[in-house]
Amino acid sequence: MEFHDLTLRDGCHAIGHKLSADSIKQYCTFAENAGVAVIEVGHGNGLGASSLLIGESLLTDTEMILIAKKHLKNTKLSVHVIPGIATIARDIQPAIDMGVDIFRIASHCAEASLTKTHIEYLAQKGIKVFGVLMMAALCTVETLVEEAQKMKSYGANAIIMMDSTGSFYPKDVSERIRALVTVGLPVGFHGHNNMHLAVANSLVAIENGATIIDVTMKGFGAGAGNTPLEVMASIYPGSVNLDEILRQCEKFEYASPISKPVNILTARSKLFSGFERPIIEACKKYGISLKNLVDELERRNLVAGQEDLIQVISLQLAEKS
């Protein structure tokens, strides 16, 4: 069982994607010393995502990758890739050339076919590639398995299930991980803490066969945050240096996320956790109810990457009121 540390990627959502060079250098040095298996770096929405609509990164993808690689030796470097945002020529091939070890190719849980070109390209080059099924609460167990099988046929080396909405209960995770294991690839779990169940869900994932657990320092991540590295390392300390992790936790520069009303509401509506900031900003700007906006986003089935529509929908709600 491995911990894959996404602090420098999922955590970017919490700081408007303004991750500094010093933060990357310091954290990668820590991860190497602590024996963390994999660390992920980049814009919260992955390669090529920096934009006015989604949020501009302080550093370019190239800058972030090169800084991380310079300070990693044994710890592997991964990146998040959403087809439609990232392209092979502009984003993936340069990342290959810079030495990225693992590419995590992600799609909505029912749209794995969108990952075919990207996964096949990497698999044919012999580069480790994971298939990532985001927003996993929005499809049945049977569909989740079918989509994972597609990713396997494209050449994926592992399947990661993301509770992007932070809405799963342990029984949901147990049922889905147990089913995904039958696909015949290593399975990972990515939890969000909207309902304060990220640790419980991660433990249940391990009990049912998951061998990759996504974590972040102090749960630093989108919305209410992720499964905390320091907690999981205290339960499964075998592969990491717990003392080093706890020292880093004490001096970590960012506060632990908390589950706020917006996080509870987005979990209830099975919306992307990264919508927290644009939802709060839109409610303040247009003077509309948090619950009314979240209910409307649920009705319209918004998914990650559609952050710009939150402003449009908020304006429409304000004009009706």
Q: What is the DSSP secondary-structure string of 75-115?
A: SEEEEEE-BTTB-IIIIIHHHHHTT--EEEEEEETT-GGGG
Burial class (CB in 10 A: 0-12, 13-18, 19+), 124: exposed
- Of 116, 133, 88, 81, give the one whose Cα is nearest residue 102: 81
pLDDT value for 293: 97
Look-up of token digits 């304006």: 315
Task: Please check whether residue 81 is in contact with residue 91, taking contact to mean a CB–CB distance below 8 angstroms.
Answer: yes
The residues that are catalytic are 13
Name the band, by pLDDT with cuts 50, 70 and 90, for residue 239. Answer: confident
Name the band, by pLDDT with cuts 50, 70 and 90, for residue 238. Answer: confident
- State mean pLDDT over 237-247: 93
> How many helices (H) and strands (E) would you count in the chain?
14, 8
Answer whether residue 236 shows pLDDT above 80.
yes
Answer whether residue 107 shows pLDDT above 90.
yes
- State mean pLDDT over 243-253: 96
pLDDT tens profile 28-64 = 999 999 999 999 999 999 999 999 878 899 999 999 9
Which CATH number is 261-320 given? 1.10.8.60
Residues 6+ apart with CB under 8 A from 298: 269, 270, 271
Least confident range of 48-57, 98-107, 151-160, 244-253? 48-57
* Sign of the CA dihedral with 61 first, then 65, 68, and 71 last: negative
pLDDT tens profile 169-181 = 999 999 999 999 9
Q: DSSP letters along 181-241, please?
A: HTTSS-EEEE-B-TTS-HHHHHHHHHHTT--EEEEBGGG-SSTT-B-BHHHHHHHS-TTS-
Going by the DSSP 8-state scheme, the letter that residue 131 receives in this structure is: E
Q: Which helix (H) or strand (E) holds 37?
A: none
pLDDT value for 54: 83
Share of the chain above pLDDT 70, in %: 100
Domain ranges in the chain? 2-251, 261-320
- State mean pLDDT over 106-131: 98
If phi > 0 it is left, if psi is from -120 to 50 it is alpha, else beta; for residue 117 that is alpha
- Other beta carbons within 10 angstroms of residue 80's beta carbon come to 25
Q: Give CATH superfamily name and number for 2-251.
A: Aldolase class I (3.20.20.70)
Distance between CA 246 and CA 80 in Å, rounded?
26
> Measured between alpha carbons, how far is residue 105 from residues 45, 81, 186, 296 in Å?
11, 5, 15, 29
Q: Which amino acid is at 61?
A: D
- Of 164, 186, 187, give the one whose Cα is nearest residue 176: 187
Distance between CA 221 and CA 15 in Å, rounded?
9
pLDDT value for 306: 84
Answer whether residue 304 shows pLDDT above 90.
no
For the whole model, what pTM was predicted? 0.93
Chain-wide mean pLDDT for the chain? 96
3-state secondary structure of 33: helix
